[in-house]
Structure 1
């Protein structure tokens, strides 16, 4: 796990995942990379070790659904920690916080707020899927306006 943490910190990545001898690095904010990995290559997540900068409840649900075995993070929300532990994931962290704060630091992370509806990762998946879809649609509209 130390090698993953070092890679996370030195490489400036948001997430690093290792399955067997293969390591993949990710740089996007939020749950986008983890969501895409879960959708495209669930087998890679099964039994994987993962190091992440910040884990909220949405990311935790994806990790449990994907079958991640072990996680380290700098910051984890209490709901995410509970979800991971209840899902049988080994968790280590630098700091536990009551909730993840949004990017503008004006309130809670919107995805974590949406995930208040359940503690069941299966029930949370459609919530996460809808959130990612809305975020991507908004980004596409913004790109079209800029052009």
Structure 2
């Protein structure tokens, strides 16, 4: 984990994944990279180690569904931490917060808010898909 945590910080990436094929870096905002991994390369996260800057409940869901082995987060929300622990993952982290804030820090992150009431990764995934699809449509208009 030390190596990918160093890569995360030194490269200013949003997420670093180490799997059987080596170390991979990602820079998209939010859960876009994790969502793409789970949807387009279902085995990519299986057994992987991840170092991530910010982990909310949506990201935690995608990591669980992807089958990660271990996680380090600079910041993790209480709901994400609880979901990971309920699914057998004990993450390392620097800071735990009540919830992930949106970009201008005026409210909750929209995905954290959408996922908050659900307790099952299988129930949360369709909410994430709907959110991602809505965001992609907005970007294309």
Normalized against structure 1, the TM-score is what?
0.94
**Residue 118 (structure 2) aligns with:** 118
The runs of at least 4 aligned residues of structure 1 exceeding 6 Å deviation read: none
Q: Does 1:59 align with 2:64?
A: no
Q: Secondary structure at the match of 2:128?
A: helix
Deviation string 1:44-69 (CA, Å, 9 cap, x unpaired) is 10110000000000000000111111
Q: Bigger shift: 106-115 or 18-27?
A: 18-27
Q: Does 1:91 align with 2:86?
A: no
Tell me how far apart the structure 1 counterparts of residues 117 and 82 of structure 2 sit (CA, whole Å).
15
Q: Does 1:16 align with 2:16?
A: yes
Q: Does 1:77 align with 2:60?
A: no
Deviation string 1:108-143 (CA, Å, 9 cap, x unpaired) is 0000000023110000000000001111111111xx
Tell me how far apart the structure 2 counterparts of residues 16 and 37 of structure 1 sit (CA, whole Å).
12
Measured after TM superposition, the shift of residue 14 of structure 1 is 0.1
Segments of 5+ residues of structure 2 without an aligned counterpart are: none
CA contact (8 A) 1:69 1:90 kept: no
Tell me how far apart the structure 2 counterparts of residues 26 and 115 of structure 1 sit (CA, whole Å).
23
Deviation string 1:26-57 (CA, Å, 9 cap, x unpaired) is 00110000000111112110110000000000
Measured after TM superposition, the shift of residue 89 of structure 1 is 1.6
Instruction: Name which one, 1 or 2, has greater alpha-carbon Rg.
Output: 1
Aligned positions, number: 141
Q: Secondary structure at the match of 1:47?
A: coil
Q: Secondary structure at the match of 1:76?
A: strand
